[in-house]
Structure 1
């Protein structure tokens, strides 16, 4: 795993909420499996298998897969079916370049709009990241590291930038699980802490520089030649559903 998290995890509302539709529930389960790196790039997403796992028809699964395909997380091939996207090295570079541009705008907004409560929440998020690393909880670390970037987007109060980041977050997760090299390091937590300090001090230029360095560290840890192994759908979705956090409004 790279030293910089795939900014992966997107917040969501309680699964028990009656407002969450069947399609949304399945969509978020599948998105989580991808963002938390339990579902590898290139994995075939059989409509029959997924329908059996979730107890729904192929029509429901097809709708969810089309939604994921629209976000470029899934690739649908005629006469072959759906697969988790496998970003090319060129696409990986483009996505990471886009991340730098989008997150610069987010940082500017976060610096201008942040409150003491926001800074406290960001610090708590980094503390939780460190705790997950110390306990070897990789999935929690991925989720929390992603929450950090997505929280910055919330603080920036720019829904358009947040929407762009949301898609890039998902695609970055696929890129990292496909091309990452090396091991998880607490350095990413240190980088997040430095970014928080710059934002709290309203030092816009320093915060942007630190974010760019943070994202560059992610790219430096990629070997844009290697692929990962495929995963079994039953084993991925058989695990107990974890508790969820806040309602969804993306390294």
Structure 2
């Protein structure tokens, strides 16, 4: 049975003066899938996400999230989504346990900080301050905060940028596990191998317009059907696979 639509975006537009950043984008996200937004810098990915997240106003179009119309019920949408924060969103003087308790209070939720930290393999860092974490630890904690309000949907904006190979693969596993628990995941990334590994479907955005929506495998097959061939032979592994096999899969926390 086909999954129901949990996010519907229709003719979405965003104008900044004379510049139109988002030019009539339409797409649906199915419940329980990992959906990727791909595109060059400035293509409109982050703007689109921020509108759906209720963080930025739209200039036109319609957005419905789990049955809630963005124009009529933005507060209802906020209650069912989790949004990955960047570093600026955390008080530097608080440790991870205190930060979780702070956010839980904002959501009016009872949360067991150690249980949440265990989900992202950070229970041994409970008393550490956010600023003292490694890059991978910061990203895992950032994802943990999106789960505090038990969201139906989480939004991750380039979650693995700047991470080493072990931390990147570990985060892939974490995102896949979150989806297995029934949460819908919307992700932006510049790493095509990441999108191919994680995403059930992707939308490719360029210059404010969607130019393709499908599964990574279908988009690749469609390209091959046009007669496209890589200039060099495709091998069964890449250099990142070599690196991880030689240095190990375990995280290096420093």
Relative to the length of structure 1, the TM-score reads 0.27
Relative to the length of structure 2, the TM-score reads 0.27
Larger helix percent: 1
Larger radius of gyration: 2
Q: Which has the higher contact order (CA 8 A, sep 6+)?
A: 1
